[in-house]
Structure 1
């Protein structure tokens, strides 16, 4: 295949595969906790890390990971302990992260508007071998946490109070979810971009929820959708010369629309099946009268 003939596309496709796996894997817990926009906030904070990487002439993925992890931990602490002023503190953190990133990139000798755009919206040609190594290591961490602690993370995502009663370290697990989400942002920023990574963490999960009925099925289907749209969007970007991040997100939204349309007849069919089953059970009960028993002749 022509798309596999070039080294940069091989790296881009592998990075897209990893992004497609990791983003929904942690995104499902954010959706369950009603923190769908957390990835967007972390993406804003990660901009400071990108700018710091340019300023220090180091790989921006590692500095973005460090800064986004610190920002995610701070966000979780504000969520847990913040009261009436918590939303203002989060807003200051988001906007400050974005402004700091733009300022640091312009202060550096290696930064430019083109490079900034590649981090904001993704770029196929910017995935280097060093970037791919970093993405592989970070993605391995996200997958290990998502699969290894899936029962514990599911418990606190569903009901924190119940999880606390059962003896789970709720505060530690909450911080771990925040850290894993921050690492996922760093994994995805080269392919999807910092401003669009939150969509890939949320939309595949929302699409899977339309037709799945269990957490395990939702998890598997969301990851499958994430992988499919990431690879398809990357390939489309190569052949049509369009931004990969925007293409991937639009494909994910298209899948969501299709599955939502399919969910309506499926729900009706399930409802009819339940009604039919209930009617059969009622008819089989001893002493049950049919409708004709109430009619006086």
Structure 2
């Protein structure tokens, strides 16, 4: 086992994927608890599809993918949250339209510019080879900021998650904190798409939180255990993808599903 770890760490692309994956898995799981409890899971899935469309367009225009995708997905998070909170529009239906539309646009753009095979698969299902040094630096910086913000705003996020009326009664705007959660999630989704893929990135947000909820009932314990599960599944999934030449995103997602089913049964 030690020799295998040394072998993996001898490859720079594996080290980059490991660093990026651990940071993203941790932050995604922390935000995922609130997203799941507030029933915003579909927003996370919709944002991942929007991110795929943005990445496809930036690739076609030969621009830096993250520089273009980040602001587009953040803007999309704002509008998706407004749609979700609107009583005039069926939120889930509107989110489904936006997500499938973005996915379709991304596939069309990539197929007409760089071909369907490698690039589409990399963006849809992730590729550990696609992470460069600049993306590692950007991911570490942004994830550190997100982690610090989560700790500083922990009490408010907790309150908004369980009792929005209480937050309004003490003079705080619920919409502001909901928007902060959605925007931070949007950033995490864009950062993680290179390793996890657009179709599977939302699994890092949803499954660790659901699994932790099977074991603990206290919010703080759920958040902590969700982070442990997410990081564990990513590292193990990365090892499996290296050993058996499998997509990293799919390996991590399947492990999360297996763990969820296991704890659901023993619960």
Task: Give the TM-score normalised by structure 2.
Answer: 0.92
Q: CA deviation at 1:258?
A: 2.2
The whole-number CA distance in structure 2 between the counterparts of 1:86 and 1:254 is 30
Q: Does 1:148 align with 2:155?
A: no
Equivalence for 2:3: none
Q: CA deviation at 1:40?
A: 0.9
Partner residue, 2:234: 230
2:32 to 13, 27, 34: 27
- After superposition, the Cα gap between the structure-2 partners of 1:180 and 1:129, relative to the gap in structure 1 and judged at 3 Å, is same
Counterpart of 2:8 (choices 3, 8, 26) is: 3
Gaps of 5+ in 2: 1-5
Aligned partner of 2:17 in structure 1 is 12
Aligned-residue offset at 1:47:
1.6
Q: Distance in 2 between matches of 1:17 and 1:135?
A: 10
Distance 1:111 1:67 in 2: 24
> In 2, Cα distance between the equivalents of 1:84 and 1:191?
34
- Tell me the secondary structure at the aligned position of residue 34 of structure 1: coil
Shift of 1:162: 2.1
Q: Distance in 1 between matches of 2:190 and 2:134?
A: 14
1:125 maps to 2:119: no
Q: Which residue of 2 aligns with 1:71?
A: 76
Structure 1 gaps, min length 5: 264-297
Instruction: Give the superposition deviation at 1:165.
Output: 1.3
| Partner Cα separation in structure 2 for residue 111 and residue 150 of structure 1 | 45
- 1:157 counterpart residue number: 161
Match of 2:52 among 47, 59, 72: 47
User: Which of 60, 63, 84 does residue 65 from structure 2 map onto?
Assistant: 60
Kindly indicate whether the alpha-carbon contact (under 8 Å) linking 2:53 and 2:103 is maintained by their aligned counterparts in 1: yes
Q: Relative to structure 1, is the Cα distance of residues 233 and 144 closer, same or farther in structure 2, using a 3 angstrom cutoff?
A: same
Q: CA offsets per residue over residues 150-209 of structure 1, 9 Å max, x none?
A: 111111111222211121121111111111111110121111111111111111111111
Give the whole-Å Cα distance in 2 for the aligned partners of 1:69 and 1:7. 30
Give 1:94's aligned residue.
99
Q: Deviations over 1:62-101 (max 9, x none)?
A: 3221211111110011112242444443233212211222
CA contact (8 A) 1:38 1:198 kept: no
Going from structure 1 to structure 2, the CA distance change for 1:198 and 1:82 (only over 3 Å counts) comes to same
Whichever structure has more helix as a proportion of its residues is 2
RMSD of aligned alpha carbons: 1.7
Moved more, 150-159 or 52-61: 52-61
Pick the structure with greater CA Rg. 1
Change (3 A) 1:160 1:191: same
